[in-house]
Amino acid sequence: MQQNESNPNPKQSFKEWLEKLQQESWQLELLISGFAIYGIYASKDFIAQLDYYTDNNLSGELRLLGFIIVFILQKGWIIFFLNLLVHVILRGLWIGAIGLRYVSGDIDYKSLNYSETFSGYLKRKVGSFDDFIESMEKSCSVIFAYTFLLFLLLMSMMLFILEVMILVYLSQKFGGDNVVIVGLLSLVWMFFFVLGLIVFVDFIALGVLKKTRDGALSRIYLQVYRFYSFITLSFLYRPLLYNFIDNRYTRRLFFFSLPYIALVIFGEGLITNHRLAYLPDTGYQLETATGIHAEYYDDLRINNLYFKENDRFRLTHEQLQFITLEKFEVDSELTSFFIALNKDLEREMANKSLLTPFRNKGFNFSFLQKINKDPYTQNIQKAMSQDMKELYEKRRNAKREFQKSGNDATQKYLDSLVMEINDREMGWRIKIEETKKAAAEKILKTYLSFFTVYLDEQILPVQKCFFTRHPHNNEEGIRCYVHLDSISRGLHTFKFVRNFNPDNQASEAKMLYLPIIKK
């Protein structure tokens, strides 16, 4: 008996410690929320940079993965920022209520001297001040945990969507033209999706399938449940989830989770605010030469950076337009425009052009590929190897002979072989460089063929174009120079016509008018 008193039950001690800790948890909640809000707000720039990098520097499967990661971070940012901000406000109100209770105690309805009707109503609806403090305490504690649960639910949802997209991609990638293989792989991803949908329905129905008394069905569904718990990482937060739905108070908040997540994902486009009802939209202005927009002019964009210091990050990291003019106010005889090599142009080049790309698109492991990856010079290099093979063999034999004899005749013969090899290699290298240059020029002309440039409705001959990077954010593209010495001073209009339809036709016009001023 004495042993039991000196060594209490460890579980009971742990529960007592938890009871004490949860009473003091508000301090940790408030501290963590404060630091988290500051860190989350500061992370907005990083997420924007990651989004920009994903959109402009990644392609193929890696771009899809980057998009999913950025999407989770963007929507998670909204969830954390809003919820923790509400938590800090409510927790501050709770602290204020406790301080007020110390000064004035509970609510004294008699001292208010209201009528019996209003006094009775307020006692029923408002209650005691202690009940209000307790309600605030419960709300603050639940919101703090609810924030993390929401983010984890969003992460699991996006992981499932990503896995379905990967299976669809694999069925297209490895199926090829084989109808049987494509059909089998399609059945796999459809089966995966349907089972996942069943688990999701069970989840939002609070485990209706888990309540079935059919032993065989329960055992089968248990394996399905375990599989999807693993691939969506929901096993990581399962205790938090079940502790939420086993209580009537927190269960109501759980039912709000799906509408809340849907609002976070789709809410941005549901509400619009137009301050100037009579102002035509940007697309119409660009199609009819009735507007001037700084994002299409390098000099105006730089001016915006100078005058809008608080908006510097957005201006420097917003996506570059497909065409940008060097200057709005042209004070020289020569100006230029920049064509961004975006995904629309890349798609058009792949679909409409028969040209061979210089390298493989997307994510590649360089150490698994051959050193020479240039398809334009592979045949020339093979021919060079065959042509030089005999001379290389003669040089090796001459070196061995000279090492044995060391006579002058062998030295002269070896020197003549080296000179012949150098001359012939130089000829082959010139041929390789000429072939690469011709291929690059052909690719450049093909890119330019997707556009027609006009000045004041007259086709404008392009003087010279170069592959380059734009200083805005190091975007890759083509810069073309044009002479304006033949036009008069005053207002003129560039017109750029894309000879193809971009993917997002609603946001980007096929025809673009950009006014300029010639000084």
Give pLDDT, residue 368. Answer: 44
pLDDT (mean) for 71-87: 85
Residue in 145, 352, 178 with CA at minimum distance from that of residue 250: 145
Give pLDDT, residue 30. Answer: 67
Q: Is the pLDDT of residue 150 over 80?
A: yes
- Residue 338: pLDDT band by 50, 70, 90 thresholds? very high
pLDDT (mean) for 5-16: 56
Q: Is the pLDDT of residue 17 over 70?
A: no
Q: Is the pLDDT of residue 507 over 60?
A: no
**293 vs 300: CA distance, rounded Å:** 8
Q: For residue 410, what is the enclosing H or E element?
A: helix 408-449
Least trusted range by pLDDT, from 29-38, 100-109, 270-279:
270-279
Q: Is the pLDDT of residue 484 over 60?
A: yes
Q: Which residue has the higher pLDDT, 150 or 352?
A: 150
Q: Is the pLDDT of residue 276 over 70?
A: no
Q: Is the pLDDT of residue 216 over 50?
A: yes
Q: Is the pLDDT of residue 334 over 80?
A: yes
Nearest 5 degrees, angle CA 235-CA 241-CA 242? 100
| β-bridge mates for residue 452, sequence order | 497
Averaged confidence pLDDT in the chain: 78
- Residue 487: pLDDT band by 50, 70, 90 thresholds? confident
Nearest 5 degrees, angle CA 213-CA 215-CA 220? 115
421 in Cβ contact with 391 (< 8 Å): yes
Q: Is the pLDDT of residue 14 over 60?
A: no
